[in-house]
Amino acid sequence: MARQDFDPANTPPDGRPASKSRLFDPDKDGPWKGSVPGLDLGSAVTVLAYGTDEVGIGPRLHVHPYDETFVIVQGRARFFVGDAVLEASAGEVVLGPRGVPHRFENLGPGRLQTIDIHHSPEWIQTDLE
């Protein structure tokens, strides 16, 4: 069934051109790492690629003034989001709500690879550890 969620006639283009930027080098060995600020794309979101081959390793506890959405591309992770502890694996998505401290770690075995969407045109973060 075709989707028709809105009337395109009521949402005219805002004049921004299409744009692109490199998030990571796919030809480089090892986990993907990189970031693209939304400001570089004329977008309201910033995108990060995070990966590690080390079990038990991940970003330190931190917080943002906006939501962060994590897409698990490969592997398994344990997320600590406020008082919640969530395990997620490839194909799953986790939300870190704005203002809630969070971190995650690779559960293994093997590589953990995520794409992290910061709901902000800039990456703004306060590390708590």
Q: What is the pLDDT of residues 87-116, one digit of tens each?
A: 999 999 999 999 999 999 999 999 999 999
Which residues make Cβ contacts (< 8 Å) with residue 125, sequence separation at least 6? 62, 63, 64
8 A C-beta contact, residue 106 and residue 54: yes
* pTM of the complete model: 0.93
Containing H/E element for 79? strand 76-81
Inter-CA distances, 67 with 1, 4, 51, 59, Å: 31, 27, 20, 16
Which residue positions in the chain have pLDDT lower than 70?
Answer: none
Containing H/E element for 105? strand 102-106
Facing residues of 118 across strands? Answer: 46, 68
Whole-angstrom distance, CA of residue 6 vs CA of residue 35:
31
Domains of the chain: 30-127 (2.60.120.10)
DSSP for residue 17? P
8 A C-beta contact, residue 58 and residue 104: yes
| pLDDT at residue 1 in the model | 85
Whole-angstrom distance, CA of residue 90 vs CA of residue 113:
8
Whole-angstrom distance, CA of residue 65 vs CA of residue 58:
20
| pLDDT at residue 49 in the model | 98
